[in-house]
Structure 1
Amino acid sequence: MTLKTLLSAAAALAITAGVGQAQTVGFSQIGSESGWRAAETTLTKQQAEERGIDLRFSDAQQRQENQIAAIRSFVAQGVDAILLAPVVATGWDSVLEEAKEAEIPVVLLDRQVDSPDDLYLTAVGSDLVHEGKVAGEWLANTVKGEDCRVVELQGTTGSSPAIDRKTGFEQGIEGHDNIEIVRSQTGDFTRAQGKEVMESFLQAENGGQDICALYAHNDDMAVGAIQAIKEAGLQPGEDILVVSIDAVPDIFKAMAAGEANATVELTPNMAGPAFDALEAYWKDGTVPPKFIQTDSKLYTPADDPQGEYESRKDLGY
């Protein structure tokens, strides 16, 4: 057996064992617009380190063009896989095709894309429509037939969470004619924008007197809105019900203070299932399902919010 043959066999064995060449992963992250997003980044880096994976990280600062440039850079570097948390759902076909032609598997994290599913290996995420529906059903059960005017803080325009969480909430309140969404505007998933938009809602709705509930597509916008409600002289959680999505530590702090009423969990550990799928794929070519669903749970003040805050506060949020 020649030296070349021996080296080739050793390389193949290393890859089969999940080590060696197939260990460099590019991660195109949306940015750091929320505590949840920061936690996802922290946990992805931790998961990579624990598994001996060389993670090459790129922060897109909320801009799709930066993500496309990052993916092309990863392809040029010859990484073994790419993790993509897409800022919006459309406009990915060309760059995903480039990754496919380079035989680099792409795994989507926590958001979906409107592209043919043969352009990515799998997507890890929650059922975003289900999250919104759980929030809507909670509100319908809470107001129990009383008239309720709702203001909605949407996520980034065009993103799959903004689209699906809106759809799900509307499904959750369907058939409850007493509940009406009277105002809906993007807060871009940030606390600052959540506060600013909520201020405009309050001004438009009789200083907030005509608002029954706030539905926010993520907790960070809800936390910003809670501040705006307090500055308007109202009591969030009582004068205006607050329901949101993500289950970040600060929403539990607000809940413990009586300033928030419900949140639907979105786990930030998307990387664990993603790396599991990639390692199986690298080992023997195992193709995962096109969607790997994570768990979601509704939390209310009955679920020990102070304890939930303490257990989550050091997770990188």
Structure 2
Amino acid sequence: MTLKSALLASAIALTPMAAMAELTIGFSQIGSESGWRAAETTVTKQESERRGINLKFADAQQKQENQIKALRTFIAQGVDAILIAPVVATGWDEVLEEAKDSDIPVILLDRTVDAPDELYLTAVTSDLVHEGKVAGEWLATEMAGDDCRIVELQGTTGSSPAIDRKNGFEQGIAGHDNLEIVRSQTGDFTRSLGKTVMESFLKAEGGENICALYAHNDDMAVGAIQAIKEAGLAPGVDIKIVAIDAVPDAHLAIANGEMNATIELTPNMAGPALDALEAYLANGAVPPKWIQTESKLFTTADDNAAIYEVKKGLGY
């Protein structure tokens, strides 16, 4: 299998065409805070178009109130189903009850919610805790007994990726007394805030006293790389960097020696979600409550320059 075909299979794998024509589905997207988020939106639109689905798209601009308003609009319009990437984990019970009362199945994409699972059909996500644990274990191996003071860029406060990726990372470094998280603050999953918060970390700790950065997504890491360079340090060398998503710019940073590792989160949540929805609407087949997508660790050992080019061509 070629590199391009392998990545195509994991990123926007084509699923069998099905009798999904005439369906209208609402999609409430968090926003466009990252390159990965933009890729998820693109892939969801492509999957819907390929299947003949009428997709109603709503950009929440990182605000839960906008998502709740969008869901209620979809319900009033009588859509056949709703896809939602929830901005935070709590506060969904009431609107999900409204969808259930209207017999509209809801599928969660890439994030989960703290609500009774009978209120949604299924959740298509990666194992967010596992992603963070892989990052922590990679750093523990990389440092191999050397003392390492770590700064952490967290995702959006209250979101399931921020909660789970933090917990997973802490599991990954548990038992390694040489590793210590000395600063942890939200960068809201954005490149600009990742840069700003990293600047504050460097000012507070001194760049020479920071061994590694763990970022809950690549966009924050890329912003932090700029801050590290502006501080006169070499990212990836003076400060080790591991993050999550495996977007093209992360592969480019690794290829350039400015980042050390990233864990892939596929943007193709829509393919498995629509497959599950198709089966449910066709014959009542109830999917499992969690459909897990695959994650993969990329390091300097991989051909990141080639991966960058392929992923850019896939619409990231």
State the superposition RMSD in angstroms.
0.8
Aligned-partner Cα distance in 2 for 1:239–1:157? 28
**Matched residue SS, 1:55:** strand
Query: How far 1:316 sits from its partner (Å)?
Result: 2.5
**Superposition pairs for residues 1-317 of structure 1, below 5 Å?**
18-19=19-20, 21=22, 23-206=23-206, 208-317=207-316
Query: How far 1:19 sits from its partner (Å)?
Result: 4.3
CA 1:20/1:196 → structure 2, altered by over 3 Å: closer, same or farther? closer
Deviations 1:1-28 (A, max 9, x none): xxxxxxxxxxxxxxxx83455x110000
Larger-gyration structure (1/2): 1
**Matched residue SS, 1:313:** helix
The one-letter amino acid paired with 2:115 is S
**Matched residue SS, 1:209:** helix
Aligned-partner Cα distance in 2 for 1:315–1:200? 35
- Count of residue correspondences: 299
TM-score by length of 2: 0.94
Query: How far 1:235 sits from its partner (Å)?
Result: 0.2
Aligned-partner Cα distance in 1 for 2:219–2:212? 16
Aligned-partner Cα distance in 2 for 1:215–1:203? 17
Judge conservation of contact 2:21–2:52 (CA < 8 Å) in 1: no
TM-score by length of 1: 0.93
Unaligned runs of 5+ in 2: 1-17
CA 1:284/1:211 → structure 2, altered by over 3 Å: closer, same or farther? same
Aligned-partner Cα distance in 2 for 1:126–1:212? 28
Aligned-partner Cα distance in 1 for 2:20–2:264? 34
Judge conservation of contact 2:243–2:261 (CA < 8 Å) in 1: yes
Judge conservation of contact 2:64–2:87 (CA < 8 Å) in 1: yes
Identical columns (%): 76
Aligned-partner Cα distance in 2 for 1:20–1:83? 17
Aligned-partner Cα distance in 1 for 2:56–2:124? 19
Judge conservation of contact 1:18–1:282 (CA < 8 Å) in 2: no
Query: How far 1:282 sits from its partner (Å)?
Result: 1.0
**Matched residue SS, 2:301:** helix
Query: How far 1:247 sits from its partner (Å)?
Result: 0.1
The one-letter amino acid paired with 1:49 is E
Query: How far 1:304 sits from its partner (Å)?
Result: 0.5
